[in-house]
């Protein structure tokens, strides 16, 4: 009879422990994700708000970069220049223009560059980066670029370029355009 009581208590303890562990699952998952975050390539994904730098508001008018470079210009479909800073947009890979590997990549690169310039010149926008690693291996600032729309939604420049087929999602390596 005493064994039956102990057996019931053990089952109750197991159930309680199981409920406790199930409730801790989201916290455990969050801890794992935060611990691997520094290892994620900073150019891959836009950072969540709590891991972002303060927004930097940009009101410049963008031209194309070239001889006698302007203060604010578009280098290619995923890189811009503001003053001495070169800024690469997080999460996208545009066709190369300097130099293109084939005529199709040159055409696609020109189209992506023109579309990025058009999107940037639609009005003021904000740039944010990761608080822990804000540069790529070439020394370019890595930034997400967005703007608030009149209807209260947020426009992501990277998403618009991807949706239009001008760029690919950046996967940590260059994708082929030829």
Summarize pLDDT for 33-56 with one digit per residue, the tens. Answer: 666 555 566 667 777 788 888 999
Same-domain status, 6 and 51: no
Comparing 68 with 75, which gets the higher pLDDT? 75
Same-domain status, 63 and 11: no
The answer to whether 136 touches 43, Cβ cutoff 8 Å, is yes
Comparing 110 with 66, which gets the higher pLDDT? 110
Same-domain status, 52 and 116: yes
Residue 14 has pLDDT above 80, yes or no: no
Same-domain status, 29 and 50: no
Comparing 139 with 173, which gets the higher pLDDT? 139
Same-domain status, 115 and 144: yes
Domain extent, residue 7, equals: 2-38
**Residue 175 within a domain:** no
Q: Helix (H, G, I), strand (E, B), or coil: what is residue 54?
A: coil
Which pLDDT does position 128 carry in this prediction? 94
Same-domain status, 101 and 54: yes
Same-domain status, 144 and 127: yes
The answer to whether 80 touches 90, Cβ cutoff 8 Å, is no
Which pLDDT does position 3 carry in this prediction? 56
Same-domain status, 17 and 52: no
CATH number at residue 93: 2.40.50.90
Same-domain status, 29 and 56: no
Count of beta carbons in the 10 Å neighbourhood of residue 156:
17
Same-domain status, 142 and 129: yes
Distance CA(63)–CA(38), nearest Å, equals 35
Which pLDDT does position 38 carry in this prediction? 54
Which pLDDT does position 19 carry in this prediction? 81
User: How buried is residue 175: exposed, middle or buried, by Cβ count under 10 Å (0-12/13-18/19+)?
Assistant: exposed
Same-domain status, 31 and 97: no
Digit-coded pLDDT (tens) for 69-112: 689 999 999 999 999 999 999 999 999 988 889 999 999 999 99
**Residue 174 within a domain:** no
């Amino acid at each position: 009879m005493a064994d039956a009581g102990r057996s019931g208590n053990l089952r109750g303890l197991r159930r309680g422990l199981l409920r406790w562990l199930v409730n801790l699952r989201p916290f455990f998952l969050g801890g794992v994700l935060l611990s691997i975050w520094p290892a994620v390539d900073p150019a891959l994904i836009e950072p969540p708000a709590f891991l972002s730098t303060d927004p930097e508001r940009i009101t410049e008018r963008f031209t194309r970069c070239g001889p006698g470079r302007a203060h604010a210009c578009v280098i290619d479909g995923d890189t811009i220049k503001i003053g001495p800073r070169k800024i690469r947009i997080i999460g996208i890979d545009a066709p190369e223009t300097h130099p293109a590997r084939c005529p199709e990549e040159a055409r696609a690169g020109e189209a992506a560059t023109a579309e990025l310039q058009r999107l940037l010149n639609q009005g003021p926008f904000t740039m944010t980066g990761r608080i822990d690693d804000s540069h790529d291996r070439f020394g370019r600032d890595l930034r997400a670029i967005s703007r608030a729309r009149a209807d209260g939604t947020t426009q992501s420049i990277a998403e618009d370029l991807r949706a239009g087929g001008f760029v690919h999602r950046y996967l940590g390596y260059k994708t082929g355009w030829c």
